């Protein structure tokens, strides 16, 4: 039986106030591109993160592109990135003509391994190449070990651009995700913990960096009554209407983080006792936002593979998804070097992201848990599902 109401992995969830903010934008006719809601959203994000300067953009990918360019990345440079990430984190380095180099995860917390980063930097510099930036990803809303990464980067003057696209509302040592980097990037894509329907943000303590990013994001117009241009820019600014939606979502963030963490705890309680089942660990140094609940399956003990569970859920019109396929395994990056790789490959093989939307009901969760447990029960009865 297929239910008509599909359960998505992480659909948008409007709190209700979003429409009021959008109405306000309509009433003042600040539909696009700039307007008071955009400035208010950026100010709200500054208060949330502790970054003095925030620039709202059309996507997280755009924010990474601008961030890398303003940190000085150019043709022939090397940019080091987490291999366990989403492709939007790493493509901007190629837009700038830089060469990528991937670094594997720390098995304990799944974010970039600082020891492997140190090894990668040493190897790249020994070849006479310049590492122009490092982009660690705060994977599934878990902050990287910023202090250990900075200990590698700072003495060498390598800037750290933190990809906190998935980590809005998470903390590291009581600071908001991203704080501590030379700059940080956030995403408000439709599946993230808060959404503007599509959008991103670049944050930094460096006013000059954000001022120049703002200019480049609006086609790099020089001050003049006519349109005058002396540099190449982009059309990357967030619209005022999108920012109005973002204001309503910001009001909901604390509730959403609490609910996502509650969903994670619920899955652990419902499924954690099954043989071969474990869940993404949480770093002692912070509080993850648990954007997605990630379950790991030991196929031998559980009796079935993550793909069997995914198909069983899909048969009930429920979306789940494998862990991000590491960048060094992607055909498009077959020639990009990677320091380490076994940890992220293992997480990709064993991991499954379970539905984590904040609008799900207890009944939805119970149904999902029943289906997952059912796959194990069938397997242990000897009736192992064949694909
Ligand atoms: C979503 C995401 C991005 C890109 O954000 P967009 O707003 O979709 O461009 C970058 N990095 C990571 C880790 C993401 O999850």
**302 in the same domain as 187:** no
Q: What is the atom index within ligand 1 of the atom nearest the CA of 192?
A: 1
119 falls within a domain: yes
Please, which residues bridge with residue 57 across strands? Answer: 200, 237
Q: Tell me what pLDDT residue 377 has.
A: 83
Residue 386 has pLDDT above 60, yes or no: no
Calpha distance 88→193 (Å, rounded)? 17
Strands of the chain, DSSP E: 53-57, 78-82, 99-103, 131-135, 161-163, 171-172, 175-176, 183-187, 200-204, 277-279, 286-287, 293-297, 321-322, 338-339, 351-354
Q: Is the CB of 137 under 6 A from ligand 1?
A: yes
**198 in the same domain as 110:** yes
**Which residues, 6 or more positions from 150, have their beta carbon under 8 angstroms from its beta carbon?**
160, 180
Q: Which residue has the higher pLDDT, 1 or 376?
A: 376
Q: pLDDT tens-digit profile of 163-193?
A: 999 999 999 999 999 999 999 999 999 999 9
9 falls within a domain: no
- The preferred substitution site among 9, 60, 100, 323 for testing ligand 1, maximizing ligand atoms within 8 Å of CB, is 60
**261 in the same domain as 244:** no
Among residues 198, 222, 249, the one where a domain terminates is 249
Placement of tokens 């906190």 in the chain: 164
**179 in the same domain as 260:** no
- 29 falls in which pLDDT band (50, 70, 90)? confident
**227: exposed, middle or buried (C-beta count within 10 Å: 0-12, 13-18, 19+)?**
exposed
**369 in the same domain as 347:** yes
What's the whole-model pTM score? 0.96
Report the Cα–Cα distance between both ends of the chain, in Å, rounded. Answer: 18
3 falls within a domain: no
Q: Is the CB of 355 under 6 A from ligand 1?
A: no
**204 in the same domain as 160:** yes
Burial 174-188 (b: 16+ CB within 10 A, else e): eebbbbbbbbbbbbb
Give the residue from 297, 301, 292 showing the smallest Cα distance to 372: 297
**307 in the same domain as 241:** no
Q: Is the CB of 88 under 6 A from ligand 1?
A: yes
8 falls within a domain: no
Among residues 202, 228, 249, the one where a domain terminates is 249
For 216, the 3-state DSSP assignment is helix
Q: Is the CB of 82 under 6 A from ligand 1?
A: no
**36 in the same domain as 65:** yes
Q: What is the atom index within ligand 1 of the atom nearest the CA of 62?
A: 9
Share of the chain above pLDDT 70, in %: 97
Q: What is the atom index within ligand 1 of the atom nearest the CA of 137?
A: 13
Element (H, E) at 334: none
Burial 318-355 (b: 16+ CB within 10 A, else e): bbbbbbbebbbeeeebeebbbbbbebbbebbebbbbbb
Residue 215 has pLDDT above 80, yes or no: yes
387 falls within a domain: no
Closest residue to atom 11 of ligand 1, CA basis: 89
72 falls within a domain: yes
How far is the CA of 16 from the CAs of 21, 22, 43, 309, in angstroms? 10, 11, 21, 34
Neighbours of 218 (CB within 10 A): 15
Q: Tell me what pLDDT residue 141 has.
A: 98
Domain CATH number, residue 219: 3.40.640.10
10 falls within a domain: no
Calpha distance 252→115 (Å, rounded)? 37
Residue 32 has pLDDT above 90, yes or no: no
Instruction: Region of 367 please: left (phi>0), alpha (psi -120 to 50) or beta.
Output: alpha
Say how many Å lie between the CA of residue 147 and the centre of ligand 1: 23
Residue 384 has pLDDT above 90, yes or no: no
Beta pairing class for 277-279 and 286-287: unpaired
Q: Is the peptide bond before 33 cis (omega within 30 degrees of 0)?
A: yes
**Which residues, 6 or more positions from 155, have their beta carbon under 8 angstroms from its beta carbon?**
none
Domain CATH number, residue 265: 3.90.1150.10
Q: Would you mind telling me the total number of residues written for the chain in this entry?
A: 387
Q: pLDDT tens-digit profile of 70-81?
A: 999 999 999 999
Q: Is the CB of 83 under 6 A from ligand 1?
A: no
**224 in the same domain as 283:** no
**354 in the same domain as 220:** no
Token pair of 238 as six digits: 């967030």
Residue 335 has pLDDT above 90, yes or no: yes
Give the residue from 333, 339, 345 showing the smallest Cα distance to 99: 333
For 13, the 3-state DSSP assignment is coil
**352 in the same domain as 270:** yes
Q: Is the CB of 165 under 6 A from ligand 1?
A: yes
**269 in the same domain as 244:** no
Share of the chain above pLDDT 90, in %: 92
Among residues 249, 265, 285, the one where a domain terminates is 249
7 falls within a domain: no
How many domains, in total, are found in the chain?
A: 2
Q: pLDDT tens-digit profile of 2-13?
A: 445 899 999 999
> Which range marks the domain in which residue 180 is found?
18-249
């Amino acid at each position: 039986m297929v239910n008509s109401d599909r359960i998505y992995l992480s659909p948008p969830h409007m709190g209700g106030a979003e429409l009021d903010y959008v109405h306000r934008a309509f009433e003042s006719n600040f539909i696009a591109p700039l307007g008071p809601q955009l400035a208010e959203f950026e100010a709200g994000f500054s208060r949330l993160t502790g970054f003095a300067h925030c620039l709202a953009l059309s996507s997280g990918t755009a924010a990474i592109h601008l961030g890398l360019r303003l940190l000085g990345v150019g043709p022939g440079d090397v940019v080091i990135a987490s291999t366990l990430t989403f492709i939007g984190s790493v493509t901007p380095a190629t837009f700038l003509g830089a060469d990528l180099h991937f670094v594997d995860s720390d098995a304990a917390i799944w974010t970039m391994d600082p020891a492997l980063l140190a090894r990668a930097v040493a190897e790249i510099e020994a070849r006479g190449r310049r590492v122009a930036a490092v982009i660690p990803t705060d994977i599934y809303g878990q902050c990287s070990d910023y202090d250990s990464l900075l200990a590698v980067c700072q003495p060498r003057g390598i800037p750290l651009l933190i990809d906190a696209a998935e980590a809005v509302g998470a903390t590291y040592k009581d600071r908001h995700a991203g704080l501590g980097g030379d700059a940080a990037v956030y995403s408000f894509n439709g599946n993230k913990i808060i959404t503007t329907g599509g959008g991103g943000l670049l944050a930094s303590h460096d006013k000059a960096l954000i001022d120049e990013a703002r200019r480049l994001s609006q086609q790099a117009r020089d001050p003049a009554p006519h349109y005058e241009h002396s540099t190449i820019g982009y059309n990357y600014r967030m619209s005022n209407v999108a920012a109005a939606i973002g204001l309503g979502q910001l009001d909901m963030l604390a509730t959403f983080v609490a609910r996502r963490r509650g969903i994670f705890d619920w899955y652990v309680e419902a499924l954690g006792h099954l043989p071969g089942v474990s869940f993404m660990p949480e770093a002692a140094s912070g509080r993850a936002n648990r954007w997605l609940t990630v379950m790991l399956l030991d196929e031998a003990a559980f009796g079935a593979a993550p793909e069997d569970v995914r198909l069983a859920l899909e048969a009930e019109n429920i979306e789940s998804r494998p862990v991000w396929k590491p960048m060094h395994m992607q055909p498009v990056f077959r020639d990009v070097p990677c320091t380490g790789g076994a940890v992220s490959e293992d997480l990709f093989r064993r991991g499954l992201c379970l539905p984590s939307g904040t609008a799900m009901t207890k009944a939805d969760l119970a149904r999902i848990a029943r289906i997952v447990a059912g796959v194990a029960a069938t397997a242990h009865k000897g009736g192992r599902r064949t694909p």
